[in-house]
């Protein structure tokens, strides 16, 4: 409690020692009112934070099945939130007999596929993979940051990420332009997971797509197989 008996005794002694406190009195009704008001303020603050903490998960239909994404607000007053669909398969898993073959269409799925987290990146090694002179400056100067994006590696890596602007204008119901970003890296390293398309999608009112593709020996052998077919 804010006003305990010990606190009141302290105020009484201060009233005797200092003229400024003479005649000071804290009624019990004021104390109860303060406690009640504080309780409701704390309760309202907690409820407000709970509302802010609620996450909206949009669901969309595709030709392969339903996707469940996440709506992400942006730290700007002029940019609206963006619906993210992460780790969406765009090809069948290139493993086993399909390891060195050209990609095939993905299989359909039943139910709702959760698309709220990045999928694994294609196997790669950014250290000494290519001469530093062949790397982009931002890449070679940020190897530690890049390394944090490629910790989760798997040959089952043919996934894309979709960033969709939300509708701010109810009249804006037409199809939106789509921008596909294909990362560089000399077919030796890189991942679409490093590129967050949220700001571009919101500011430009476009759908932004980033993707992973096979790199290193898996990419080279796939190209050899593709050229032999052609």
- Where are the domains positioned within the chain? 5-53, 59-229
CB 109 within 8 A of CB 123: no
| Rg over CA atoms, the chain | 29
| Mean pLDDT calculated for residue range 4-27 | 44
Helix (H) or strand (E) holding 89: strand 82-89
Give the residue, 139 or 7, on which the prediction is more confident.
139
Which of 196, 205, 190, 132 has the alpha carbon at shortest distance from 162?
A: 196
Out of 2-16, 139-153, 173-187, least confident range: 2-16
Q: What's the confidence (pLDDT) of residue 129?
A: 57
Q: What's the confidence (pLDDT) of residue 175?
A: 87
- pTM of structure: 0.68
Q: What's the confidence (pLDDT) of residue 2?
A: 42
Ranked by mean pLDDT, which of 6-10, 42-46, 59-63, 219-223 comes out on top? 59-63
How far from 121 is each of 62, 153, 181, 211, CA to CA, in Å?
23, 5, 16, 9
Which structure tokens are listed for 28? 């019990």
Cα–Cα distance measured from residue 2 to residue 168, given in angstroms and rounded to the nearest whole number:
47
Cα–Cα distance measured from residue 186 to residue 163, given in angstroms and rounded to the nearest whole number:
25
Q: What's the confidence (pLDDT) of residue 180?
A: 97
CB 104 within 8 A of CB 98: yes
């Amino acid at each position: 409690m804010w006003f305990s008996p010990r606190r009141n005794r302290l105020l009484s002694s201060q009233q005797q020692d200092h003229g400024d406190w003479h005649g000071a009195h804290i009624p019990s009704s004021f104390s109860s009112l303060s406690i009640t008001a504080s309780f409701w303020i704390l309760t309202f603050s907690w409820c407000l934070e709970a509302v802010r903490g609620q996450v909206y998960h949009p669901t969309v239909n595709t030709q392969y099945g339903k996707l469940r994404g996440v709506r992400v607000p942006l730290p700007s007053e002029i940019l609206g939130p963006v619906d993210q669909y992460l780790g969406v398969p765009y090809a069948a898993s290139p493993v086993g007999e399909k390891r060195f073959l050209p990609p095939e269409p993905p299989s359909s799925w039943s139910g709702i596929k959760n698309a709220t987290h990045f999928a694994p990146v294609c196997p790669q090694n950014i250290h000494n993979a290519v001469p530093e002179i062949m790397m982009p400056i931002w890449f070679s100067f940020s190897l530690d940051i890049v390394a944090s994006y490629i910790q989760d590696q798997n040959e089952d890596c043919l996934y894309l990420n979709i960033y969709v602007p939300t509708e701010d204008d109810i009249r804006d119901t037409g199809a939106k332009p789509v921008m596909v970003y294909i990362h560089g890296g000399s077919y030796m390293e890189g991942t679409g997971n490093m590129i967050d398309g949220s700001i571009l999608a919101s500011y430009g009112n476009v759908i932004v797509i980033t993707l992973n593709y096979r790199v290193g020996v898996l990419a080279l052998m796939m190209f050899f197989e593709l050229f032999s077919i052609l």
